[in-house]
Amino acid sequence: MKQLMTSLAIIIAVTTSVLADDAQLTSQEKRARRKARMEARIASEGGIISKPNTGNFARIVNCQKKVSTEFIKEVAAQFNSGLNIYIEVSDLDASTTNPFELAEFAMAIPRTGLATIIVEDEKLPPILSAMENGWAILNIKHLRDDLPPKAVYELRLRKEINRAFAQAAGAGLSFNKPCVMEPVYKTSDLDAVTYPVISPETMNKIIQACNKRGIQTFVSDTYKNACEQGWAPAPTNDVQKAIWDKVHAVPATPMKIEFDPKKGR
């Protein structure tokens, strides 16, 4: 009992000391300290890793030359920060402008669950979607008919890539503002949309549709937890190796199960 009371006294003293020390820090310093503690804990558990994708991708297929693939990847990364699904941007140099053939080619790319196809065409509407088939075609030609400044044009692109991607997944108009899926019937309506990304309501619809089409959401965890759950890759540094060896170690005296004739097992 005396030893227990001594241990408790030490814990209380240390905790009180830490709290007293924290009380003297500014809010910014407290946040920095908490961040440092969290980073230290994550580092001690082998860092953060992502579970490999074993399913399909929500694919954005670039079939035009006006807008770079790098810009499209940047937009995809932006809206995927909320979705956390597996998105891949691909180039497709197709020999046809037929929208249905383009959709067929895009969906034929291995591991494609959804396809958002970006084209520049004189005849197609701004967005042509077939949600039950899992694709949408975004025609960016109309976005520069009025020769807008570069910043206006790029903002229109961001909004329309979001909108086409959502429509490929079957997420229609959203009347909960603000959301990039507000009703848009002309370019001025698009410019009037103040929120250039997908809202949480629409995100939930997209995630559900993606999961149904074999597109998984990200799973990220510490290397230690990944080892314990059985999906961690081989270690790449000494910290991860120590965790790997500990989790996969065979007990020195494995438990033996012996037959008990009285119990019949």
Q: Supply 242's token pair.
A: 């120590």
Instruction: Give the pLDDT mean for 74-103.
Output: 93
What's the mean pLDDT when you consider all of the chain? 88
- Residues 171-188 have pLDDT tens digits of 988 888 889 999 999 999
Percent of the chain at pLDDT exceeding 70: 88
The band of 243, judged by pLDDT with boundaries at 50, 70 and 90, is very high
* pLDDT at residue 229 in the model: 93
pLDDT band per the 50, 70, 90 thresholds, residue 47: very high
| Helices and strands (DSSP H and E) totals, the chain | 9, 7
Strands across the sheet with 112-119, in order? Answer: 87-91, 57-62, 112-119, 135-139, 127-130
The predicted pLDDT at position 2 comes to: 46
Give the end-to-end CA distance of the chain in Å, rounded to a whole number: 43
Per-residue pLDDT, 132: 95
**What pLDDT is stored for residue 4 in this prediction?**
43
Q: What integer pLDDT is reported at residue 18 of this predicted model? A: 47
Using DSSP, state whether 71 is helix, strand or coil: helix
**Domain range 57-212, its CATH number among 3.40.1260.10, 2.40.110.10, 2.60.40.150, 3.40.390.10:** 3.40.390.10
Domain layout of the chain by residue ranges:
57-212
CB 217 within 8 A of CB 85: yes
Question: What is the C-alpha separation between 26 and 91, in angstroms, rounded?
Answer: 50
How far apart CA 118 and CA 99 sit, in angstroms, is 10
Query: Phi, psi (5° rounding) for residue 96?
Result: -135, 155
Instruction: State the Cα–Cα distance between residues 228 and 122, nearest whole angstrom.
Output: 55
* Burial zone of 256 (CB within 10 Å; 0-12 exposed, 13-18 middle, 19+ buried): exposed
With tokens 């910014």, the residue in question is 28
| Euclidean distance between CA atoms 265 and 258, whole angstroms | 8
DSSP 92-123: ---S---HHHHHHHHHTSTTEEEEEEEE--SS
| Residue-level pLDDT at 22 | 62
How confident is the model over 81-96, as a mean pLDDT? 92
Band of pLDDT at residue 225, cut at 50, 70 and 90: very high
